[in-house]
Amino acid sequence: MFKSFFNTLVNCFKIEELKTRIFFTLGLLFVCRLISLIPVPGLDGAKLSSYFAELSKKSQGADAGVLGMYSMFTGGALENCAIGSLGIMPYISATIILQLLGAVIPQLAKLAREEGGRAKLIQYGRYLTLLLCLGQGFAMALGWENPEKIFQSYDKGVLVMADNIWWYRIQTMLILTTGTMLLMWLGEQITERGIGNGVSLVITIGILARLPQAAQSLLDMFKSVDDGGAGKTIFHAIALGLMLLVVVGVVIAVTQAQRKIPVQYAQRAVGRKVYAGGSSFMPLRVNYAGVMPIIFAQAILMFPQKLLELLGKSLDLPLLISLGDKLSYGTVGYLVFEAFMILFFSYFWVATQFNETQIADDLKKYGGYIPGVRPGGATSDFLHHAMSRITLAGAIFLMAIAVFPTVLSDSMDVNFAVAQFFGGTSILITVGVMLDTMRQVESHLLMRHYDGFLKKGRVKGRS
């Protein structure tokens, strides 16, 4: 198997175009990593890095979970007070907002179906990204002025070293906005001239950049207690290794799982042309919503605990403070609330993105039908019922994979930096992006008569 993989990898560099695309992608990803390391002028990033280093040693707690998750999406840029501290998430947020608006605003939905409308929507997404970056950049500049209010238990001192506070705020806002816009542009260049989805690869490389830190935390777990480790045994290492293999296998299986709805096409005549009938199938993905429900749920759950705590202190209501503590990261209340929100957003995403009525009309228009189901409204009802059932299975999978890192961290006393690679957004994004990138590489290989990664890795027709 390893020989086949190595041979296929060698074949990738025998094709000039594919080799150019691979090196182009790697070069731009290297630039993305530089953006997450170059600090913003006027900030003492070493103090915040030291705080995050101490925080990562905690195996549980709200700070370790929430801040660790946000830092993961920025590729560690937040820890360094880097120019890429906003990450690529404003662009993702803008894209999601436009997709959701397209489901409720007919003009946007019509624009998406028109010729050239897709390019117009991308342009709107860039404008919205710019606005989000300016707002979030200014808010982050204010947050760095008073880090003790944002980062609990922060005791490293003042981060801002600039003399003119308003110049610092405007400068930081513009620099952070520029960093995100540059990441967005690099991602689009990778998509157009490289291999894989550029924006997804930017997120993935940020996640994978935390592997050395996770590996160090994993090694510390097996040190003796006297040396500052957790004193884990070899049996814990074997259990973690097997657990990781099972999780990755399940994620790959569910990510690619689909229900194939058979579709039959009748013979039809259009003008003087006669189109022959045939049979095909319509793939309905089990995890149709992907990682979006988890992102939505975790993004929303970042705020209730903080808001309830602030309201409780300002209004002198211990009940609100107690309720906020029950919704803090890692508690049973948080996990239950997160699971129900993932279930809700799974169906919400499918309801806004999967238009069974449009699909039924298109099938009827082109002479297609599902065997045993009448065209039109009956086909729409059939697709709605089928999608609802498989969405439930996908939502249950997302609920389990989202809460698993927290449960693992609490039950086995595993450092959160290690536990986050056993589930949640990290494993879903990484596996999904890797599979998509391998499919694109394989398509280039098959076009040049080479076998892909799942084949024997040799030129067809040669011994």
Q: Is 91 among the domain residues?
A: yes
Q: What is the pLDDT of residue 463?
A: 37
Q: Is 310 among the domain residues?
A: no
Structural domain harbouring 175: 26-208
* Percent of the chain residues past pLDDT 70, beyond the cut: 85
* pTM attached to this predicted model: 0.79
Which DSSP string corresponds to 357-383? Answer: HHHHHHHHHTTEE-TTS-TTHHHHHHH
Q: Is 242 among the domain residues?
A: no
Domain CATH number, residue 158: 1.10.3370.10
φ, ψ at 263 (rounded to 5°): -130, 130
Q: Is 128 among the domain residues?
A: yes
- Chain segment 286-320, per-residue pLDDT in tens: 988 888 788 778 777 777 777 777 777 777 777 87
The CA distances from residue 443 to 126, 195, 321, 446, 454, in Å, are 30, 11, 55, 5, 12
pLDDT at residue 266 is higher than 50: yes
pLDDT at residue 199 is higher than 80: yes
pLDDT at residue 63 is higher than 70: no
- Chain segment 101-153, per-residue pLDDT in tens: 877 788 887 887 777 777 888 888 899 999 999 998 998 888 888 777 666 66
* Percent of the chain residues past pLDDT 90, beyond the cut: 14
Please name the amino acid found at residue 456.
K
Q: Is 236 among the domain residues?
A: no
φ, ψ at 440 (rounded to 5°): -65, -40
Q: What is the pLDDT of residue 231?
A: 61
Q: How many structural domains compose the chain?
A: 1
Alpha carbon distance 53, 371 (integer Å): 60
Q: Is 426 among the domain residues?
A: no
pLDDT at residue 437 is higher than 90: no
At 180, is the pLDDT very low, low, confident or very high (cuts 50, 70, 90)?
very high
Mean pLDDT value of segment 71-91: 84
Q: Is 9 among the domain residues?
A: no
- Chain segment 374-416, per-residue pLDDT in tens: 888 899 999 999 999 999 999 999 898 888 888 887 777 777 7
Q: Is 288 among the domain residues?
A: no
Kindly tell me the sign of the dihedral angle through the C-alpha atoms of 444, 447, 452, 456.
negative
